[in-house]
Amino acid sequence: MDVAPILYNEFPLFLKRYFPYKVQKISLNAGFTCPNRDGVKGYGGCTYCNNQTFNPEYCRTEKSVTQQLEEGKVFFAHKYPEMKYLAYFQAYTNTYGELEALKRKYEEALSVSDVVGLVIGTRPDCMPDTLLHYLEEVNKNTFLLVEYGIESTHDATLRRINRGHTFQDTVDAVERTVACGILTGGHVILGLPGETHEDLVAQAATLSRLPITTLKMHQLQLIRGTRMAHEYEQHPEDFHLFGVEEYIDLVIDYIEHLRPDLVLERFVSQSPKELLIAPDWGLKNYEFNHRIQKKMRQLGAYQGKKYDM
């Protein structure tokens, strides 16, 4: 019997290396802010950001970490009663705070029954060595993945979207985290203003040189109430919003230029309809994945096919 070729490295298969059972991430909003919101580096946050777009109903700051996790467990348990969970510190910058306060939040999450690890989303300029040494110890006893918001490899783009850090900050943070033996991931947005298809394919090669294990990507979305939405109103010619077929072609080209062993966690994001201005493709994540896989088979495409060491 012929075995279907592996088109790309999927995140669920990656998790199976670490867990003999199904695991599900539960998103948390632990009440953090960001240095480009509170005045340390700037105000207003990233121009594209409205954190409501990725906070589930159970994920509210007035609820404790424990309460959010317990409600998240109820939300997911009907699918797989034997499921275990990863506490996903997702909203804003989850390493931005005083060390003892951070430790309390992480340890509270790990004390909840059936929570078997942490995923910590943060910025590359918010990982002091003191925290990294603490996480190095945590990593000896539990699953830990630190996920850095890279967003772009171009400093001009990072300035334009008010990130408040450079790509060199990303390189530094990733290398220090990996040196501590901690699984390290990255997140990028495809289609930020000023970046072409060629730029993004080149970005795939640049990211492949980083020692990251996982990568998330998603299309640029214009969200109500953001500075970028206002910029789009004023100068729509500065933006290129992908149609779904065009974006599928971009993602396939991107995947082909990525390092073959990178684990790809996602290709699209779905913001709530009431917040989304554009593009609205009406596709669930799994539907998009099926379309990507179908076209990759038609093209004979696979991850790393065009990767040049």
What's 136's domain CATH number? 3.20.20.70
- pLDDT surpasses 60 at 78: yes
Q: What per-residue confidence (pLDDT) applies to 97?
A: 85
Q: What per-residue confidence (pLDDT) applies to 58?
A: 47
Contacts of 225 (CB under 8 A, 6+ apart): 50, 275
Q: Specify the higher pLDDT residue, 48 or 227.
A: 227
302 occurs within a structural domain: no
Own/partner pairs for 138-141, CB < 8 Å, 24+ apart? 138/106, 138/110, 139/180, 139/181, 139/182, 139/183
96 occurs within a structural domain: yes
Q: What per-residue confidence (pLDDT) applies to 34?
A: 81
d(CA 54, CA 69) in angstroms, rounded, equals 16
Q: What per-residue confidence (pLDDT) applies to 254?
A: 98
Per residue in 43-66, pLDDT (tens digit) is 777 877 875 544 555 455 678 999
Q: What is the pTM of this model?
A: 0.92
Q: How many CB atoms lie within 10 A of CB 98?
A: 8
2 occurs within a structural domain: no
Per residue in 137-188, pLDDT (tens digit) is 999 999 999 999 999 999 999 998 888 889 999 999 999 999 999 999 999 9
Q: Which of 98-102, 207-211, 302-306 has the lowest mean pLDDT?
A: 98-102
165 occurs within a structural domain: yes
Contacts of 84 (CB under 8 A, 6+ apart): 19, 21, 22, 23, 24, 114, 115, 116
202 occurs within a structural domain: yes
Round the average pLDDT of the chain to a whole number and report it.
Answer: 90
Domain holding 123, by residue range, is 9-297
Q: What per-residue confidence (pLDDT) applies to 4?
A: 59
Look-up: residue for tokens 């951070």? 102
3 occurs within a structural domain: no
Instruction: Provide mean pLDDT across the span 228-240.
Output: 91
Per residue in 265-301, pLDDT (tens digit) is 999 988 888 899 889 998 888 999 999 999 999 999 9
d(CA 87, CA 116) in angstroms, rounded, equals 8
305 occurs within a structural domain: no
303 occurs within a structural domain: no
Instruction: Provide mean pLDDT across the span 40-44.
Output: 75
Per residue in 3-32, pLDDT (tens digit) is 556 899 999 999 999 999 999 999 999 888
Count of the separate structural domains present in the chain:
1
Instruction: Provide mean pLDDT across the span 122-131.
Output: 93
Q: What per-residue confidence (pLDDT) applies to 60?
A: 55
Instruction: Provide mean pLDDT across the span 194-198.
Output: 94
Share of the chain above pLDDT 90, in %: 71
